[in-house]
Amino acid sequence: RAKTSGRGTAEVFDEQLRRELAERADLEAAIAHGLVAGEFLLHYQPVVSVATKELRGFEALLRWDRPGHGLVPPAAFIPLAEQSNLICELGRWALGEATRQLAAWSAADAGRGLTMAVNVSGRHLGSPRILDDVADALAGSGVDPSCLVLELTETMIVDDVACTDRLRALRGSGVRIAIDDFGTGYTSIGQLQNLPVDTLKIDRSFVASEAPGHQELVRLIVSAAHTFNLAVVAEGVEEDAQLAALRTLQCDAAQGFLIARPMSAAAVEASCGLGARAMSSPEAAAPA
Ligand code: C2E
Ligand code: MG
Ligand code: MG
Ligand code: MG
């Protein structure tokens, strides 16, 4: 059937390809417009000390309040944005917004030196403009460079000499570097010694796994990281038992739904005691 209708099939594919290209172009235009129109926002997920549960800082996570579509998660637009320089525009915006927010919270932070982690795309790190974008965010907000953490994945850090040099330059300016989703790529523990990084974020798949051996793997990662003076953050902690295990393994910090979901700046101010009208507990902040 496919053979006899070969010509029709080609037309169907043509039509489908044409439609997909048009959809991509529409989405790209909508992202570019959304940036100008102020449709992007950041949610913030608290990062806490494993030992004391004290707040250490936040990870900024991009959201798109696209008219008619609700709050769009990054998985629905970052991959497309990464195919063009749009991802650098989004990255520049996120760096500016996250540091501006941290500066505002630092006033209410009582000297805790809270950190703000921002995800950086490989394409943005691959471009020299990342250096200006980070410098502009720091200068514009006045935050202490050591409070800004740039999250990158393993492949971006290891693959390319120009990127590694850029990371060294960024780190030279005082900014911290974290490897996101650690364990899902191909970095060997030995390489950690030579990479310009400060923190490992252990991927959620290892934190959640009950597979025999995974706990040992996490123990190994933590002890290697500590040997090389790296801090370890566990991602995606959803259960008390996971947090207890991380404490035994001497993991430094954790984030995950168990502790708090990513939330709006207003919700952070209400629940973390950071706003001008800050309240001390989420209960106290609930609407009357
Ligand atoms: P990521 O940097 O690894 O961020 C962690 C993701 O895990 C977030 O998803 C967060 O909401 C989710 N998460 C946190 N705790 C838990 C948990 O306990 N359980 C589960 N199941 N999930 C948890 P989100 O916000 O959808 O972001 C997905 C990815 O999109 C991020 O992964 C990051 O790679 C990317 N991304 C987000 N914001 C930005 C950005 O501003 N720039 C760039 N380039 N990428 C971003
Ligand atoms: Mg991240
Ligand atoms: Mg991650
Ligand atoms: Mg991830």
Residue 173 alpha carbon to ligand 4 centre in Å: 26
CA distance 226 to 233: 12
Residue nearest atom 17 of ligand 1, based on CA coordinates: 236
In this structure, of 10-14, 31-35, 226-230, the range with the lowest mean pLDDT score is 10-14
Q: What would you measure as the largest C-alpha separation in the chain, in angstroms? A: 75
Residue nearest atom 4 of ligand 1, based on CA coordinates: 61
Residue 219 alpha carbon to ligand 4 centre in Å: 21
Atom of ligand 1 nearest to the CA of 201: 3
Among all bound ligands, the one having the nearest atom to the CA of 117 is 2
Atom of ligand 1 nearest to the CA of 74: 30
pLDDT per position as a tens digit, 226-237: 999 999 999 999
pLDDT per position as a tens digit, 211-255: 778 888 889 999 999 999 999 999 999 999 999 999 999 999 999
Best residue for ligand 1 mutational test, from 72, 118, 119, 200 (most atoms within 8 Å of Cβ): 119
Residue nearest atom 10 of ligand 1, based on CA coordinates: 262
Residue 265 alpha carbon to ligand 1 centre in Å: 16
Residue 60 alpha carbon to ligand 1 centre in Å: 9
CB 150 within 8 A of CB 166: no
Amino acid identity at 272: C
pLDDT per position as a tens digit, 51-73: 999 999 999 999 999 999 999 99
Q: Which residues line ligand 1 (CB under 6 A)?
A: 45, 61-62, 73-75, 78, 91, 94, 119, 121, 151, 180-181, 204, 235-238, 255-257, 262
CB 45 within 8 A of CB 59: yes
- Bridge partners (DSSP) listed for residue 148: 116
Residue nearest atom 37 of ligand 1, based on CA coordinates: 61
| ipTM of the complex model | 0.98
CB 118 within 8 A of CB 156: no
pTM of the model: 0.91
CB 49 within 8 A of CB 107: no
Residue nearest atom 22 of ligand 1, based on CA coordinates: 236
Give the Å distances, CA to CA, from 187 to 18, 124, 226, 235: 39, 21, 16, 18
In this structure, of 75-84, 99-108, 153-162, 220-229, the range with the lowest mean pLDDT score is 153-162
Structure tokens at 92: 């520049």
CA distance 4 to 73: 43
Atom of ligand 1 nearest to the CA of 87: 44
Residue nearest atom 20 of ligand 1, based on CA coordinates: 236
Rounded average pLDDT over 123-132: 94
* pLDDT, position 187: 80
Written as one string, the DSSP assignment of 143-158 is --GGGEEEEEEHHHHH
Residue nearest atom 13 of ligand 1, based on CA coordinates: 236
Amino acid identity at 217: L
Atom of ligand 1 nearest to the CA of 73: 26
